[in-house]
A and B are shown apart, each in its own frame.
Chain A
Amino acid sequence: MEKLKYALYTGCTARESTPELLKSTMAIADKLGIELVLLDEASCCGASHLQDFDDMLSLVLNARNICYAEKLGLDMVTICNTCQLNTSLTKDRLDNDPVLKAKVNEKLAEVGLEYKGTATVKHFLYALQDDYGYDKIQDQVTKPMTDTNIASFYGCHNIRPSHLQNKTNGAENPYKPVSLDNLVSALGGNPVDYESKNKCCGFHVELQNPTTANRLSGAAMTDAIDNNADVMVTPCPLCHLRMDVQQHGISKEIGREVNIPVLHLPQMVGIALGIAPEDLGLNHNVVEVNV
């Protein structure tokens, strides 16, 4: 197989509050032989909030990010569900509305760019599943996650709205997603079956309504714990910030101690591939991960 090569849109959190995500992504890509070219020109995607204030600005900035992947002649991968949604939503709107695309390109032309629509946009999880193949990952597992109950938490923006995700991003059944659970199996772990795996963590109202956010995260996490999870895993750094960093606030809100380590998707893969913990940034996780 030809070596896979993508343009990596890291998003902002991977460069700030979840440095372990970028570190572990690069580490497993290197180990698996996937080439990731960092899009250092990219801006923030607006995180599903900028468009509430200025929809056109959000479109132009996201289109600009895609332009840089197109210029490299590469497809784009994301490592944040919300970046994935905002980028692919922009792409979908521009690809299906020539008038809007022309308007956006009028702005982009002012800085010498043109959005063409030639690059696909998918989350790294689905690049691993659909392009690389779990069987090939399984072949390289040196430290299988035997006897570890792993609760997959999918994160909203990778699975909904399904009409959008069906086009390029994994095409999961949003009511019964399987990609992460299948990956857990490929790594030798026990996938935890629990109802909340496709639910919302509440990240996007964390500032204005921490009660809502804590109740939602708390419900999902206690569901995982009650189904004997030893550890949770998520492909989204925003879910991770909620569930790893905010366990005190969550426990306080729901009146029950929530204490469970939460891994980023590439950290989990990296552990099973035998990559050293420091290369996966495990020291950055707030809740200690014992591997």
Chain B
Amino acid sequence: MSNNTQKLKFKVFRFNKETDYLPHYDTFEMNVNSDELVLDVMNRIKWEHDGSFSYRRSCRHGICGSCAVKVNGKATLACKDRVSDLVELFGEELTIEPQDMKRAYKDMVIDKENFWNKYNSVQPYLVADIEEFPTEENIVSIEENEKIDEADYCIQCGNCFYSCPAVSVNPEYMGPAALVKAWRFNSDSRDTAHESRLDDVNQLGSGIWDCVKCNECAEACPKELDPIGKITKLHNQVFELGKANNDVAVRHAVGFKWSIMKHGILDEGELVRYSEGNIGVMKHIPEAIEMFKKGKIVMPWNMPKSKNLDEIKKLVEITSTSKF
């Protein structure tokens, strides 16, 4: 164990919903050991500087998910992330903030109701007819278990949810944690609610099609569960189980295949027409005119094609198995 200590400056978000109109920041200077975690620093702020400083904590083992905060905007599990690693990323001044400042109740303690509401909306439990007094085990094979892809390791800390930009601007969007949970049970061979769970997560405006693909969740997850990867698996399952709705988002995903088969490269205009339909596409006319004037629209008769297009066509034919 190293004993290198560094003098660091911590700017800490302070707010009490019951008494304060606006939040403010307090600054604490501390000598921090290279082994200390963010949670150690929060404890020391409370114990050595200001007893009114509030935050959630419980297990100290990266299991309960209580102590998630943001440090310089980075989603952090306070009992897992070392201060010295954060100094390496951000320098010697660190700002500790709650996961979502708009939802702060007191200091680091936020109202996570929106997170739990989304979580509860995906039937986050096993749906199975199991006898009250079973006489044999309900075994899941190793291969079947692998499909869950560690989604059962989620600790509900909310780091992915409160780092998700789609959640931040679209209150209807379920967000990554709920979708990971949906995959956890939709990949479980014992579960009998796969289709109804897909109905829950497959709605435009709130479900899997509203993921913006930014990978913030993959970056934020302290368990490295790659939430966006699970969202992709739900997308795939929607097609596998024939649950895809004939809507703009589904046609947009499928349209790539048709375009690639025809040209190799994407026919952007045709993809928009195919996705939106002949009537829906009309709303894009104003921007299309603007783009046309700037030489940004390729006319169908000038559409470039990839060289060796026959190869691409053949690969699509022998590889593609998904149906819509």
Question: Which residues from chain A sit less than 8 Å from chain B, CB to CB?
Answer: 12-13, 15-19, 40-44, 46-57, 60-61, 64, 85, 107-108, 110-111, 113, 156-157, 160-162, 173-176, 195, 199-200, 202-205, 207-209, 211-213, 215-216, 219, 245-246, 248-249, 283-286
The B207-251 residues at the A interface (CB cut-off 8 A) are 209-216, 218-219, 226, 232, 235-236, 239, 247-249
Verify A16–B298 contact, CB threshold 8 A: yes
Neighbouring A residues of B308 by C-beta, 8 Å? 41
Assess whether B80 is interfacial by the CB under 8 Å rule: no
Neighbouring A residues of B257 by C-beta, 8 Å? 50, 53-54, 57
A82 to B40 alpha-carbon distance, docked (Å)? 39
New A-B contacts (10) at CB < 8 Å, excluding given A205-B210, A207-B249, A286-B294: A44-B264, A50-B253, A57-B320, A64-B311, A108-B315, A160-B215, A200-B216, A205-B211, A207-B275, A284-B294
A161 to B214 alpha-carbon distance, docked (Å)? 9
With beta carbons under 8 angstroms apart, the residue of B90, B173, B256 that contacts A53 is: B256
Verify B212–A216 contact, CB threshold 8 A: yes
Instruction: Known A15-B265, A51-B232, A215-B169; judge A249-B314 contact (CB<8 A).
Output: no
List 12 contacting pairs A-B, 8 Å CB cutoff, sorted by A.
A40-B306, A50-B253, A51-B232, A85-B215, A107-B318, A110-B314, A110-B318, A160-B216, A174-B219, A207-B249, A212-B166, A248-B287
Size bracket of the B interface: 35 or more
Verify A205–B319 contact, CB threshold 8 A: no
Verify A207–B210 contact, CB threshold 8 A: no
In order of increasing CB-CB distance, the 5 nearest A-B pairs are A52-B235, A160-B215, A200-B214, A208-B249, A215-B169
Verify B296–A245 contact, CB threshold 8 A: yes
A117 to B257 alpha-carbon distance, docked (Å)? 25
Return B50 CB to nearest CB of chain A, in Å.
Answer: 27
A180 to B265 alpha-carbon distance, docked (Å)? 28
Chief secondary structure at chain B's binding surface: helix
Verify B248–A16 contact, CB threshold 8 A: no
Q: Which residue of A lies closest to B268 (CB)?
A: A16
A19 to B276 alpha-carbon distance, docked (Å)? 24
Neighbouring A residues of B213 by C-beta, 8 Å? 48, 156-157, 204
Verify A42–B90 contact, CB threshold 8 A: no
Verify A12–B253 contact, CB threshold 8 A: no
A50 to B319 alpha-carbon distance, docked (Å)? 13
A157 to B213 alpha-carbon distance, docked (Å)? 9
Neighbouring B residues of A176 by C-beta, 8 Å? 72, 89-90
Verify B166–A54 contact, CB threshold 8 A: no
Assess whether B87 is interfacial by the CB under 8 Å rule: no
Instruction: Known A49-B253, A111-B315, A212-B169; judge A156-B214 contact (CB<8 A).
Output: yes
Assess whether B61 is interfacial by the CB under 8 Å rule: no
A64 to B304 alpha-carbon distance, docked (Å)? 19
Verify A15–B304 contact, CB threshold 8 A: yes
Assess whether B101 is interfacial by the CB under 8 Å rule: no
